Structure 1
């Protein structure tokens, strides 16, 4: 998994997932409060940086999502 995330910042991951899914779909896929209650990129980053298990789930969703550039 780390190989696919090499050079990708957490902010870029959250921004890309939000653009792709929106907050509601993200909250359905990963049940964490920062996606449910008054979500924002800034609050999500703050939470994810302090919560390793949640960050792992977000990174796994990012890797599993097939972004076609």
Structure 2
């Protein structure tokens, strides 16, 4: 099997699942820190990976913000 990134070498999110993104950023930040950085209720009110995934899959603008935070966190 070819490297997943070889199809889209300029897209750092290619092949990265939203679940993996959330798991990685929740290891780096607390839910409260995430809510401070991205003002969305799924990080404020009873936050879980499952509820956040459900919201982010339906809300493109929020998903973009989470993806941006993820990209910033892996560059450091």
Q: Same-fold call, TM > 0.5? A: yes
The runs of 5 or more residues in structure 1 that have no matched partner are none
The runs of 5 or more residues in structure 2 that have no matched partner are 1-9
Greater relative contact order (Cα < 8 A, sep 6+): 1
Mark the structure with the bigger radius of gyration. Answer: 2
Instruction: Name the residue aligned to 1:26.
Output: 34
After TM superposition, which residue ranges in structure 1, 4 or more long, deviate above 6 angstroms?
none
Q: TM-score, length-normalised on structure 1?
A: 0.90
Q: Given the alignment of the two structures, is residue 65 of structure 1 paired with residue 73 of structure 2, yes or no?
A: yes
